[in-house]
Amino acid sequence: MRDHASPAETLRTALAGLLEDLPPKAAAQAVDRLIANYRGTTPTGAPVLRDRADVTAYAAYRMPATFEAARSALDGLAAAVPADWSPADHTDVGGGTGAATWAVNATWPGARPVTVLDWAEPALALGREIAAANPELAPAQWRRARITAALDLDPAALVTVSYVLGELTGADREAVVDAAARAAGDAVVVVEPGTPDGYARVIEARDRLVAAGYRVAAPCPHSAACPIVPGEDWCHFSVRVARSSLHRQVKGGSLAYEDEKFSYVAAVRPAALPAVPAPLRVVRKPQIRKGQVLLDLCDADGTLHRETVTKRHGALYRAARDTAWGDAWPPPAS
Ligand SMILES: C[S@@+](CC[C@H](N)C(=O)[O-])C[C@H]1O[C@@H](n2cnc3c(N)ncnc32)[C@H](O)[C@@H]1O
């Protein structure tokens, strides 16, 4: 056990510190610009994160949520692979201010070679500054790189692509996933917003990874085609994120948290990293009724079904009451 602050707390403190340099009005304006840009037509021909105010707004406003989503996805991977595995090194493509590098560090504490690639220099500069607060991330390399069809990555055990695909053309999405598949020694993790479009991009990435010989470690219990019918539903999960003071200032209200919806796939190169996916995955918020819990599950046989767990099931019923959306089912024996 560590006797110092967790990476999540260190990140939170470092992000709160950023806002001391940015007057509240400028921060709110930068967030408005950011939201407008992200609503505009993406992909863009040039970085959305153009200057210090943009990246400060991104880090303070979005990074806590992308950090938590990436951390949940990495938890899914960690639960499926041997407990003594941790990535020997990590490359984060389109890493921006480094949310996924913090998430990897939170999931597998310890120093390791880390490379963050992005085309937005102000994002890399701020990411480097924030990372200075964490001795295990301080040595990370922050390098300018543009995702194109020519992208070639140096080998790394783990490659992450977090909240990036949505900013790319179809050809560049394929290029970055293929480059990640070639470069990763052990695993690739792709995270996107939990929207129908984000899910579609995750499925596209998942298909390419499986075609390249990868196996899905999480969230799917199988590597066969996703049973969800596109347009009817989308596989996504939710993670609770404490709101920063900037959030409260921009969004108003006094809610102390918000829920970030995300879709993801964690895939392994089976010869290098064996994975045992969850036998079943809870793909919706469980419905708790009087004396019963309804679980919507994705099954290892590649189908979806609903299981009703009642009081008669004893310990399993108690476990179902504690089971959350996104968990494995039945709960792994502790
Ligand atoms: C929404 S941010 C996500 C940042 C970070 N991965 C996270 O999870 O918070 C998208 C990032 O992708 C980067 N990006 C977008 N298009 C890119 C491209 N063609 N080449 C390199 N980076 C790109 C942006 O500069 C930005 O930092």
Residue with tokens 């949940």: 72
Joined tokens for residue 128 = 């480097």
Choose among 303, 254, 256, 267: nearest CA to 283: 303
Longest CA–CA separation in the chain, Å: 60
Distance 33 CA to ligand 1 centre (A): 16
Interval 23-50 mean pLDDT: 76
Distance 95 CA to ligand 1 centre (A): 6
CATH 3.40.50.150 in the chain, residue ranges:
7-268
CATH architecture type of domain 7-268:
3-Layer(aba) Sandwich (3.40)
pLDDT reported for residue 39: 62
Cβ within 8 Å of residue 261, ≥6 positions away: 193, 194, 195, 236, 237, 238
Question: Using CA atoms, how far apart are residues 279 and 196, in angstroms rounded to an integer?
Answer: 25
Query: Is there a contact between 177 and 161 (Cβ–Cβ < 8 Å)?
Result: yes
Chain mean pLDDT for the chain: 92
Query: Is there a contact between 90 and 101 (Cβ–Cβ < 8 Å)?
Result: yes
Q: What is the pLDDT of residues 281-327, one digit of tens each?
A: 999 999 999 999 999 999 999 999 999 999 999 999 999 999 999 99
pLDDT reported for residue 41: 58
Choose among 331, 187, 183, 150: nearest CA to 264: 187
pLDDT reported for residue 2: 44
Residue nearest to atom 23 of ligand 1 (CA): 94
Which residues form ligand 1's pocket by a CB distance below 6 Å?
A: 47, 49, 63, 66, 70, 94-96, 99-100, 118-120, 123, 146-147, 162-164, 167-168, 172
Question: Using CA atoms, how far apart are residues 165 and 193, in angstroms rounded to an integer?
Answer: 10
Q: What is the pLDDT of residues 182-212, one digit of tens each?
A: 999 999 999 999 999 999 999 999 999 999 9
Question: Using CA atoms, how far apart are residues 89 and 98, in angstroms rounded to an integer?
Answer: 15
Distance 167 CA to ligand 1 centre (A): 7
Task: Examine the pLDDT at 138 and tell me if it is beyond 80.
Answer: yes
Specify the ligand 1 atom closest to the Cα of 44. 16
Residue with tokens 């201010």: 97
Cβ within 8 Å of residue 165, ≥6 positions away: 173, 176, 177, 190, 192, 198, 201, 202, 204, 205
Distance 114 CA to ligand 1 centre (A): 17
Task: Examine the pLDDT at 3 and tell me if it is beyond 60.
Answer: no
Distance 52 CA to ligand 1 centre (A): 15
